[in-house]
Amino acid sequence: MQMYDYLIVGAGLFGCVFAHEATKAGKKCLVIDKRAHVGGNVYCENVDGIHVHKYGAHIFHTNDKDIWDYVNQFTEFNNYVNSPISISKGKLYNLPFNMNTFYQLWGTKTPEEAKTIIENQIKEFGCKNPENLEEQALSLIGKDVYEALIKEYTEKQWGKKATELPAFIIKRLPVRYTFNNNYFNDKYQGIPIGGYNKIIDGLLKGIDIKTNVDFFKDKDALSGLAKKIVFTGKIDEFYNYKYGNLEYRSLRFENTKLNTENFQGNAVVNYNDSNVPYTRIIEHKHFEFGKQKHTVITKEFPEQWTSEKEAYYPINNDENQKKYQAYKALSLQEVHVIFGGRLAEYKYYDMHQIIASALQKAKKELN
């Protein structure tokens, strides 16, 4: 029996925003998730008063005032600014690549000095049309920064050579000739006060939710509950992998509670070197300026994805993109299914982009 207008498969940001908008427009939604909780990868676990970002660190940032106002409906944000540190061959560097980083690398004190070095290295490399991540990095920032802070981190993170990865990934990181360690260029940034769960709870208020429900285990019965489906899972799984598997990168998180007040003095410390098996250590309390006597740290280990692991990052190289386009063509023929989010669109989305995309799709659908 079709008791609902929409069955929303996956309670991550896309699903929750869509459900919220549809409910506001008078539609009846059921949100299901195979995990035991809602919130997808923004879900936080409260460990003795510290909000632990259970599926990896999430720092909210956007340039779009409408998106900022949208999330601020549900909770206020603090003024956390992400300024990661990177450790490379025993030395500390500021990120993103800025005057502090250049001073630490070469002792350069003025923008002109730093620019001269970088421009010479770019010229020496002499590539006009970068076609992969390595070429893109070398023609953006030069050899020294690439070797100290990018190559090993990237190859460890993605499990592929930097020459086999798409160029766009490295364009996420700013390059600046100012002493500014802010990882993002966006106008608005922060961490929700009280954690991300507050936003999710606000979005799903009054909406029917069922957790521990695997859509694929009971597809026909679940699909029969609603007029339409909003699918936010893996698009290749939806089509039973008929064109083959899309590749993802997975992660393993190792959480430790320590009876120390301050373990690393920063929320995010990256480990560039290939002989360290994790990419970063997160100390969650620093996202919220925590004053507890204890701390919780998480080591993030990139892993090869297999079907029983979580799919965190789409690997958008040419081969996978081609496969995705074939799946997308099928999805465009669906009349009763809407696809959205990082896994269904096979896209390296940030939170603000997911929200924008969900709002746009909801608007189109509900008008």
Q: Please give the structure tokens belonging to residue 164.
A: 């086999």
Give least dist CB 172 to ligand UDP, A. 4
Which secondary structure element, helix H or strand E, spans residue 308, and what is its range? none
For tokens 């620093």, name the residue: 286
> DSSP string covering 249-306, please?
EEEEEEEEEES-S-SSSSSEEEE--TTSS-SEEEEGGGGGT---SSEEEEEEEEEE--
Catalytic residues: 172, 176, 249, 280, 300, 348, 350
Residue closer to ligand UDP, measured from CB, 7 or 95? 95
Angle CA 31–18–61, to nearest 5: 115
Q: How many Å apart are CA 183 and CA 175, to the nearest integer?
A: 10
Residue closer to ligand UDP, measured from CB, 56 or 194? 56
Class of residue 272 by CB neighbours under 10 A (exposed 0-12, middle 13-18, buried 19+): buried
- Helix, strand, coil fractions of the chain, as percent rounded to 5: 35, 20, 40
Q: How many Å apart are CA 189 and CA 80, to the nearest integer?
A: 7
Give least dist CB 338 to ligand UDP, A. 25
Residue closer to ligand UDP, measured from CB, 21 or 345? 345
Residue closer to ligand UDP, measured from CB, 272 or 357? 272
How does DSSP classify residue 245?
A: P
Give least dist CB 296 to ligand UDP, A. 19
Give least dist CB 137 to ligand UDP, A. 7
Q: Please give the structure tokens belonging to residue 248.
A: 């993802």
Task: Give residues in contact with ligand UDP (CB under 6 A).
Answer: 86, 95, 149-150, 153-154, 157, 169-170, 172-173, 270, 272
Residue closer to ligand UDP, measured from CB, 157 or 320? 157
Give least dist CB 42 to ligand UDP, A. 13
